[in-house]
Amino acid sequence: MEQNVNKLIMEVRAGAGGDEASIFAGDLVHMYQRYALKRGWKFTELDSNQTTLDGYKSFMGRIEGQGVYNALKQESGVHRVQRIPKTEKAGRVHTSTASVAILPVVDEREVAINPSDLEISFFRASGPGGQNVNKVETAVRIVHKPTGVVVASQSERSQNANKENAMSVLRSRIFEAMREQQVASMSALRKEQIGSNERSEKIRTYNFPEDRITDHRIGKKFHNIPKIFEGAMDPIVEAFEKENQKTA
């Protein structure tokens, strides 16, 4: 099976930590969005559940550009943040998590999906707080009955465009499961990739009091978190490229 290394599907979900976890998930989404802009990649929101303070309970998007999958595939996993939340009045440092999943985009010829296996419904797109932002039911929700995978897209203005986006995400998830030979257990695949989203299962820690990002897989540390959150991710991406060259 082949995948397109110039496209990816990105999912970010708030984990442990309540409102602060949603805020952190939003910080990660904005970091990837700004990094994509710096690299000249196209960043498209497909679906999201937005909260106040620019946070997200969940976010799904597509990034397209030269070598984007190889540059960002190491972002999959649980990210942990240690900082004083905006919502904290006593000045205490909290620990929260958010999970990131990076999925390859595959051609529809690579993954055969039987239309009779799909349950497709349409609804009105919603904004922060759940209010409807469209009078027409353009948003699409697709359930893949054999695996129980559910995908949705509401960013486009037409049903057809949202359906096409949702099908692309569905193919990516099924492709990933096929690659791991776990089509029968999508939940097992997601747990393998991003863990249970608990504080202890982390790939990277963002420690604000000490202005230090630690990637626990390669043992590297990075500084100037505000700059990195503004999209200056090159040091992290390049560190993984060097590690991959060592093991190649």
Domain identity same for 95 and 196: yes
Poorest-pLDDT segment among 109-118, 149-158, 188-197: 188-197
pLDDT tens string 146-156: 888 888 888 77
Separation CA 81–CA 40 (nearest Å) = 28
Q: How confident is the model at residue 184 (pLDDT cuts 50, 70, 90)?
A: very low
Highest mean predicted confidence (pLDDT) among 7-11, 38-42, 160-164, 244-248: 38-42
Domain identity same for 94 and 192: yes
Domain identity same for 201 and 230: yes
Separation CA 167–CA 186 (nearest Å) = 16
Q: Identify whether the C-beta of residue 197 lies closer than 8 Å to the C-beta of residue 15.
A: yes
Domain identity same for 171 and 211: no
Query: Which has more pLDDT, 197 or 179?
Result: 179
Q: Is the pLDDT of residue 112 over 80?
A: no
Q: Are strands 77-83 and 204-207 parallel, antiparallel or unpaired?
A: parallel
Give the length of the chain.
Answer: 248
Report CA 191 to chain centroid distance, whole Å. Answer: 14
Among 159, 183, 207, identify where a domain stops.
183
Domain identity same for 16 and 73: yes
Please report, for the domain that includes residue 31, its CATH number. Answer: 3.30.70.1660
Query: What is the number of domains present in the chain?
Result: 2
Domain identity same for 179 and 191: no
Q: How confident is the model at residue 129 (pLDDT cuts 50, 70, 90)?
A: very low
- Token pair 């958010």 is found at 98
Domain identity same for 104 and 209: yes
As given in the structure block, the two tokens for residue 203 are 């790939």
Q: Which domain holds residue 122?
A: 115-183
Q: Is the pLDDT of residue 14 over 60?
A: yes
Among 183, 205, 225, identify where a domain stops.
183
Q: Is the pLDDT of residue 234 over 90?
A: yes
Q: How confident is the model at residue 1 (pLDDT cuts 50, 70, 90)?
A: very low
